[in-house]
């Protein structure tokens, strides 16, 4: 059987991939972590019924789920867009041998259905449905309702496939979700009501399971057609030619002296490659991190957590970009190492870039003044901490990172975890704990303002000793040089 | 000038390179040939301090390569495509290397005019990133970048591979001009015996990490090399 043969190739690709045999210990740890989260999900699923009954005794928990299914549906699409790894088969060698194109495509599509993203919802749905049955809901209805939702999850899977290359579709979904949430929140128009009615109806009429089946079938064949159309390496070749090169004059940056070449290069690195662009977008989202904490009353009495959140508001880019220095340059690291490059200038350039991003984030975070000067003071202190200390911790953890980056390939979930680095995690700890401590200790013994001041001063101190830190990190670069070169050139 | 003493590189329990002694005087055009696994790239990697020697040392103009970085300002190289920055256009890449070697933009522009023939209108002003160029054109860009800033030592690993015949001939001409001036030492490895005998005044043959022949190039050299390689057992 041909499918069996393709499956075998897939298996070999998996087991022979780099780092598969490395670090069994880490793998076990991660497995335990995954089981832990799965268990939490399941407990949540099982407990949701009782929880809902207690909080909203007049509403049927099932109806509650039905009402909000639409939000979960749209939100999971966004998550999938960012994180779900679309299946990639190296088609070139398969095209020239006698396997029917259709077989390969069916296989490819089939492969997407085994994604963890299709199983996560089950962790909630399954225990929830069991509890429903336990509470004497009619079994036929529950089972078919469950099936309908499962089919929708699978449809979601295919929709993600269809929109994956299409940013407009993605942004429309984001805006639709935003719109619905907004309208719902301000009670202008509750989309949950009509959608809830539809799903309640599906629950009442088990035969309506036919609707999601039809939806899934239509989606399957449209995806199939889409892939079939693009199943030639023509596309790969043409694609290369059409890309527009944007040349921006960056000569004004020459004022930065000896680190100018690196800075200019980093700007190009970020603007011309998929992965760094993704990081910039993610770090923009960090700006809103504070909203979760500042609006939640539970945290109002836990200022240490607020300090932690404040550091994140301005530190998104700093941390997500910085922890991958020098891996950003991994594709041409050998060249950099044999060129006339002083590490110090290289590091200073990255530091300047990161701290500039903190400054920009800080300016963008001015609207947080809405939550009062105390909160804003915290954000300001957090920004100083980011510039003065966090920048160096981040660069330090980056120096220990040995995973190369494919610049023009978006990062997806469940990828790149093979070479998980324990030292790196340990180095990352101060980033989280230190700001909390620096704030909390003086806050506890003196006052809130003393806490802010300490956090801010720690950052200033870091800036004063900047050269000391850079020298230390430079030493690590030198010490790790050969290991880093070897690790970065492994994937070529 | 390059001095190699007792140099060896071992991985696990196999020795991939072992050179007792080798001296390359300043201004020499030096060729390295050998079958796959002979240790050519290993030698270049050691010379560029990209890997550590298990034993012995290399001195580049009296600087111990694995201890100091002072050889970097006058040494340049093109080993493979990973020496290119894929998201830059060719010009941007040349300017970047130029900045690292203290060459202004105008100096680079002037410098590039002499390579028009090699570029063959396929490299400059193409509005293409290096990663989107063909393998051959990538190689051209990398080799030319290695000439930036009048380096005293130029290292090129298999410069002729992947190039079209016309470019191979033009590159040979270029390398010959460069070595005739005797300003730069040029180290080249190649699988093409014809090209390397044309360009290099001295040829060293490596076999399984050992130096087996050290020839001053003459008319008989090509024949000698061909005989050698038809007798060597294939690994």
Whether A15 maps to a domain, the answer reads: no
Q: Which member of A264, A272, A338 has the closest CB to residue B87?
A: A272
Q: Residues A63, A203: contact at Cβ < 8 Å? A: no
Whether A12 maps to a domain, the answer reads: no
Q: How many separate domains does chain A show? A: 2
Contact A489 B82 (CB under 8 A): yes
**Chain A hits for B127, Cβ within 8 Å:** 244-245, 247
The nearest CA of chain B is from the CA of A391 a distance in Å of 25
Q: Which tokens hold the place of A205?
A: 């009429």
Give me the pLDDT at residue A407, please.
Answer: 84
**Edge-to-edge strands of the sheet including B2-11?**
B63-64, B55-60, B2-11, B14-24, B210-216, B202-207, B29-33, B185-189, B153-157, B75-78
HEC string for A329-356: HHHHHHHHHHCCCCHHHHHHHHHHHHHH
Q: How many separate domains does chain B show? A: 1
* Residue A417 shares a structural domain with residue A477: yes
Whether A18 maps to a domain, the answer reads: no
* Residue A269 shares a structural domain with residue A161: no
What number is the ipTM of this complex? Answer: 0.90
* Residue A446 shares a structural domain with residue A330: yes
**Chain A hits for B96, Cβ within 8 Å:** 261, 264-265
Q: A31 or B216: whose pLDDT is higher?
A: B216
* Residue A232 shares a structural domain with residue A350: no
Dihedrals φ, ψ of A76, to 5°? -65, -30
The nearest CA of chain B is from the CA of A393 a distance in Å of 26
Instruction: Decide which of A180, A210, A241 is a domain's last residue.
Output: A241
pLDDT digits (tens, 9 = 90+) for A278-322: 888 888 888 988 888 888 777 777 888 888 889 999 999 999 899
Whether A137 maps to a domain, the answer reads: yes
Contact A240 B99 (CB under 8 A): no
Residue A161 has pLDDT above 70, yes or no: yes
Give me the pLDDT at residue A73, please.
Answer: 86
Residue A17 has pLDDT above 90, yes or no: no
Q: Residues B211, B228: contact at Cβ < 8 Å? A: no
* Residue A379 shares a structural domain with residue A272: yes
Instruction: Decide which of A213, A241, A269 is a domain's last residue.
Output: A241
pLDDT digits (tens, 9 = 90+) for A141-150: 999 999 999 9
Q: Residues A350, A394: contact at Cβ < 8 Å? A: no
* Residue A168 shares a structural domain with residue A267: no
**Chain B hits for A245, Cβ within 8 Å:** 89, 127-129
Instruction: Decide which of A196, A214, A241 is a domain's last residue.
Output: A241
Distance between CA atoms of A337 and B69, rounded to whole angstroms?
A: 10
* Residue A59 shares a structural domain with residue A172: yes
pLDDT band at A420 (very low <50, low <70, confident <90, very high): low
* Residue A169 shares a structural domain with residue A317: no
Residue A492 has pLDDT above 50, yes or no: no
DSSP letter, residue A386: I
Whether A410 maps to a domain, the answer reads: yes
Q: A197 or A231: whose pLDDT is higher?
A: A197
* Residue A204 shares a structural domain with residue A346: no
Q: Which tokens hold the place of B69?
A: 């970085």
Whether A7 maps to a domain, the answer reads: no
Residue in chain B nearest A490 by alpha carbon:
B82
**CATH number of domain containing B29:** 3.40.50.300
Whether A287 maps to a domain, the answer reads: yes
**Chain B hits for A485, Cβ within 8 Å:** 50-51
* Residue A180 shares a structural domain with residue A263: no
Domain that holds residue A236: 23-241
Whether A176 maps to a domain, the answer reads: yes
* Residue A387 shares a structural domain with residue A288: yes
Section A405-419 average pLDDT: 61
Residue A275 has pLDDT above 90, yes or no: no
pLDDT digits (tens, 9 = 90+) for B37-55: 899 999 999 999 999 999 9
Contact B87 A273 (CB under 8 A): yes
* Residue A204 shares a structural domain with residue A292: no
Residue in chain A nearest B95 by alpha carbon:
A261
Q: Which member of B75, B83, B86 has the closest CB to residue A334?
A: B83
Residue in chain A nearest B148 by alpha carbon:
A339
pLDDT digits (tens, 9 = 90+) for A89-128: 666 777 777 778 788 888 888 878 887 788 888 888 889 9
Domain that holds residue B22: 2-231
A-interface mutation test, from B79, B85, B98, B148, most A Cβ less than 10 A away: B85
The chain-wide mean pLDDT, for chain B, equals: 91
The helix-helix angle for A274-286 and A303-322 (nearest 10°) equals 170
**Chain A hits for B51, Cβ within 8 Å:** 482, 485-486
């Amino acid at each position: 059987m041909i499918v069996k043969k393709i499956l075998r190739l897939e298996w070999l690709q998996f087991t022979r991939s780099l780092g598969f045999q490395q670090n069994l210990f880490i793998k076990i740890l991660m497995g335990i972590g995954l089981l832990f989260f799965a268990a939490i999900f399941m407990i949540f699923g099982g407990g949701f019924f009782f929880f809902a009954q207690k909080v909203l005794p007049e509403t049927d928990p099932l109806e509650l789920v039905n009402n909000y299914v639409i939000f979960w549906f749209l939100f999971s699409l966004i998550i999938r867009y960012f994180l779900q790894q679309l299946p990639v088969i190296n088609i070139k060698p398969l095209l020239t041998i006698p396997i029917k194109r259709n077989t390969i495509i069916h296989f490819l599509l089939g492969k997407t259905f085994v994604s963890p993203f299709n199983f996560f919802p089950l962790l909630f749905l399954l225990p929830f449905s069991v509890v429903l049955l336990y509470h004497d809901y009619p079994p036929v209805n529950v089972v078919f309702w469950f099936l309908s939702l499962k089919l929708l999850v699978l449809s979601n899977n295919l929709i993600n496939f269809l929109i994956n290359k299409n940013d407009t579709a993605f942004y429309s979904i984001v805006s639709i979700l935003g719109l619905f949430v907004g309208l719902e929140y301000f009670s202008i128009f509750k989309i949950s009501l009509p959608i809830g009615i539809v799903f309640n109806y599906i629950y009442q009429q088990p035969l309506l399971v036919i609707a999601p089946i039809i939806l899934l079938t239509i989606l399957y064949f449209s995806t199939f057609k889409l892939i079939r159309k693009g199943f030639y390496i023509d596309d790969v070749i043409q694609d290369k030619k059409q890309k527009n090169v944007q040349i921006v004059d960056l000569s004004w940056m020459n004022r930065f002296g000896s680190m100018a070449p690196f800075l200019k290069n980093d700007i190009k690195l970020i603007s011309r490659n998929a992965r760094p662009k993704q990081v910039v977008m993610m770090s923009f989202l960090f700006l809103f991190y504070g909203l979760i904490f500042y609006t939640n009353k539970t945290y109002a009495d836990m200022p240490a957590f607020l300090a932690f959140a404040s550091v994140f508001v301005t530190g998104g880019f700093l941390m997500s970009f910085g922890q991958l220095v020098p891996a950003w340059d991994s594709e041409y690291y050998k060249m950099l190492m044999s060129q006339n490059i002083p590490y110090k200038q290289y590091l200073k350039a990255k530091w300047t870039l990161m701290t500039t991003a903190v400054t920009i984030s800080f300016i963008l975070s001015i609207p947080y003044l809405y939550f009062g000067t105390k909160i804003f003071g915290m954000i300001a202190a957090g920004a100083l901490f980011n510039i003065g200390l966090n920048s160096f911790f981040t660069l330090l953890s980056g120096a220990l990172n040995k995973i190369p980056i494919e610049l023009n390939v978006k990062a997806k979930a469940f990828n790149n975890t093979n070479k998980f680095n324990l030292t790196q995690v340990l180095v990352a700890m101060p980033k989280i704990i230190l700001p909390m401590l620096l704030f909390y200790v003086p806050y506890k013994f003196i006052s809130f303002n003393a806490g802010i001041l300490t956090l801010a001063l720690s950052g200033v101190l870091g800036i004063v000793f900047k050269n000391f830190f850079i020298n230390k990190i430079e030493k690590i670069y030198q010490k790790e040089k050969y290991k880093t070169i070897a690790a970065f050139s492994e994937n070529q | 000038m390059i001095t190699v003493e007792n140099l060896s590189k071992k991985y696990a329990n196999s020795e991939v390179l072992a050179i007792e002694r080798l001296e390359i005087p300043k201004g020499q055009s030096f060729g390295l040939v050998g079958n796959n696994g002979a240790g050519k790239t290993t030698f270049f990697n050691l010379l560029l301090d990209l890997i550590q020697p298990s034993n012995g040392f290399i001195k580049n103009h009296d600087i111990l390569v694995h201890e100091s970085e002072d050889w970097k300002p006058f040494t340049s190289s093109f080993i493979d495509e990973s020496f290119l920055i894929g998201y830059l256009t060719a010009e941007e890449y040349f300017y970047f290397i130029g900045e690292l070697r203290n060459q202004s933009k105008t100096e680079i522009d002037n410098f590039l005019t002499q390579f028009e023939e090699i570029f063959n209108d396929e490299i400059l002003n193409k509005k293409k990133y290096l990663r989107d160029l063909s393998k051959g054109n990538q190689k051209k860009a990398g080799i030319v970048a290695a000439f930036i800033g009048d380096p005293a030592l130029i290292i090129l690993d298999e410069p002729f591979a992947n190039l079209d015949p016309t470019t191979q001939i033009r590159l040979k001409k270029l390398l010959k001009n460069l070595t005739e001036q005797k300003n730069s030492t040029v180290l080249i490895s190649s699988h093409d015996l014809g090209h390397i005998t044309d360009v290099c005044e001295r040829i060293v043959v490596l076999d399984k990490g050992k130096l087996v022949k050290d020839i001053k190039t003459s008319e008989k050299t090509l024949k000698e090399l061909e005989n050698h390689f038809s007798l060597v057992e294939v690994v």
